[in-house]
């Protein structure tokens, strides 16, 4: 065989061997699996694994019975329970002022005095008239005594005796009239002194010494601070939540660690036009005088209170029948999610009270990382427990014990 022929045969044999190797190894190569890692709870495309067989990560909340209170924060101003304008009863010129703004005064305390020179003259004149009338009465009584003696002796007739008696009666009437005029003058004199009609604190002072005033001129305001009102504005959307007697906690910036207990005592009969708010008056005991009229106040109105309420977070509620109302929750029992019907009571923006359908300690699912259904398997990411108790500022009543 020639050398060229040998070369051709060699290449043919190599080609046949290569074809045979490819035919044998290619099927095995095509059967090698491709591995793709999937996140927890996600099925591979085209897989036949059922959704129920995958454990869904969830967050749960341990249902608990607590004292459930919904607080409505508001802002307001401290007002005196009674606020009186201090005015003189007569015309005159202010001679003395015995108070300053913010002074605590007692009922009957002299606060101001008018120039009383004219009043003193009236009193002196009335006193002199009374003295004259008393002198005339003494003289008339002496004449009557003489007339009675003369009548007994037969020296005068009865009509003369009667005239003397009438003179005594007239003199007595003049004395009574003079005494009334004196009392009137003294009363007018007393009206030049302005006295506090009640215990309280002086507000803004308007009058000054030397100023001419009339009974229509207010020289100051007097406010009763034994108990005060906090006037708060309730916006229109919250009006339906406000009731007489609701408990309120009040605080002021000047006493940052103290709160005052109050109750809603009065509700205005109308909504103010410009602000569209309803004015509520919160009555607060202020025996220690710490709250002063005009102070800026922060208050929290307890619009809902229930001492033994079963509470869960609002995101746990579900609308199972699609009517727009929350009617069920998912509860983790073992490693399964169970859909339970519930009756929902009061709701806040974060929590809801469940009146029926749950027991204390039930592990309510608040968040699921997957499509949760009744009977779905679950794994737990986190458990939350009720923690509504908070450190509140000390109230005045507690601090005084």
Residue spans of alpha helices (H) in 199-264: none
pTM (2 d.p.): 0.57
pLDDT for 401 = 38
Q: CATH number of the domain at 116-191, please?
A: 1.10.287
pLDDT at residue 230 is higher than 90:
yes
- Statement: 54-68+307-385 belongs to CATH 2.40.420.20: yes
Q: In the chain, list all ranges with CATH 1.10.287.
A: 116-191
pLDDT confidence of 260, banded at 50, 70, 90?
Answer: very high
Residue count of the chain, please give it.
Answer: 401
Q: Which two tokens stand for residue 256?
A: 């940052």
Query: pLDDT, tens digit, for every residue of 52-79?
Result: 557 889 888 988 888 888 889 999 999 8
pLDDT confidence of 42, banded at 50, 70, 90?
Answer: very low
pLDDT at residue 23 is higher than 60:
no
Kindly give the pairing relationship between strand 92-97 and strand 110-114: antiparallel
Mean pLDDT of 111-116: 92
pLDDT for 9 = 57
pLDDT at residue 46 is higher than 60:
no
Question: 229: closest CA among 268, 270, 265, 267?
Answer: 265
pLDDT for 273 = 67
Secondary structure (3-state) at 164: helix
Mean pLDDT of 129-157: 88
pLDDT confidence of 93, banded at 50, 70, 90?
Answer: very high
Q: Reading across the β-sheet that carries 378-385, which strands appear in turn?
A: 336-341, 328-333, 363-368, 56-62, 378-385
Helix axes 158-190, 117-153, angle to 10 degrees: 170
pLDDT for 249 = 93
Mean pLDDT of 246-255: 91
pLDDT for 391 = 34
| Mean of pLDDT over the chain | 81
Q: In the chain, list all ranges with CATH 2.40.420.20.
A: 54-68+307-385
pLDDT at residue 124 is higher than 70:
yes
Cβ partners under 8 Å of residue 20, min gap 6: none
């Amino acid at each position: 065989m020639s050398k060229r022929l040998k070369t051709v045969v060699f290449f043919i044999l190599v080609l046949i061997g290569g074809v045979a190797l490819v035919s044998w190894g290619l099927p095995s190569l095509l059967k090698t699996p491709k591995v793709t890692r999937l996140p927890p709870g996600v099925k591979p495309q085209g897989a036949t694994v059922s959704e129920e067989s995958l454990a869904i990560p969830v967050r749960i909340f341990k249902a608990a019975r607590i004292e459930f209170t919904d607080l409505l924060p508001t802002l307001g101003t401290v007002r005196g329970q009674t606020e009186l304008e201090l005015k003189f009863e007569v015309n005159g010129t202010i001679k003395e002022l015995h108070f300053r703004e913010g002074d605590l005064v007692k009922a009957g305390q002299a606060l101001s005095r008018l120039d009383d020179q004219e009043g003193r003259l009236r009193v002196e004149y009335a006193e002199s008239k009374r003295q004259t009338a008393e002198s005339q009465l003494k003289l008339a009584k002496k004449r009557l005594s003489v007339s009675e003696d003369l009548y007994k002796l037969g020296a005068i007739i009865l009509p003369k005796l009667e005239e003397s008696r009438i003179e005594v009666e007239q003199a007595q009437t003049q004395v009574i009239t003079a005494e009334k005029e004196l009392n009137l003058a003294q009363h007018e004199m007393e009206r030049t002194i302005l006295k506090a009609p009640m215990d309280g604190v002086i507000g803004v002072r308007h009058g000054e010494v030397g100023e001419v005033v009339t009974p229509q001129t207010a020289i100051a305001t007097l406010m009763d601070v034994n108990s005060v009102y906090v006037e708060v504005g309730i916006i229109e959307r919250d009006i339906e939540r406000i009731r007489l007697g609701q408990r309120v906690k009040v605080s002021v910036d000047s006493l940052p660690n103290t709160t005052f207990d109050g109750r809603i005592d009065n509700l205005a009969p109308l909504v103010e036009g410009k602000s569209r708010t309803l004015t509520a008056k919160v009555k607060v005991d202020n025996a220690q005088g710490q709250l002063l009229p005009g102070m800026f106040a922060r208050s929290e109105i307890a619009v809902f209170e229930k001492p033994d309420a079963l509470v869960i977070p609002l995101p746990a509620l579900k609308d199972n029948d699609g009517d727009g109302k929350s009617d069920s929750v998912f509860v983790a029992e073992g490693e399964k999610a169970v859909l339970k019907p519930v009756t929902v009571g009061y709701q806040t923006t974060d929590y809801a009270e469940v009146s029926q359908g749950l027991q204390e300690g039930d592990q309510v699912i608040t968040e699921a990382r997957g499509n949760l259904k009744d009977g779905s398997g679950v794994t737990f990411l986190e458990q939350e427990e009720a923690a509504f108790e908070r450190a509140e500022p000390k109230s005045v009543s507690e601090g005084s014990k």
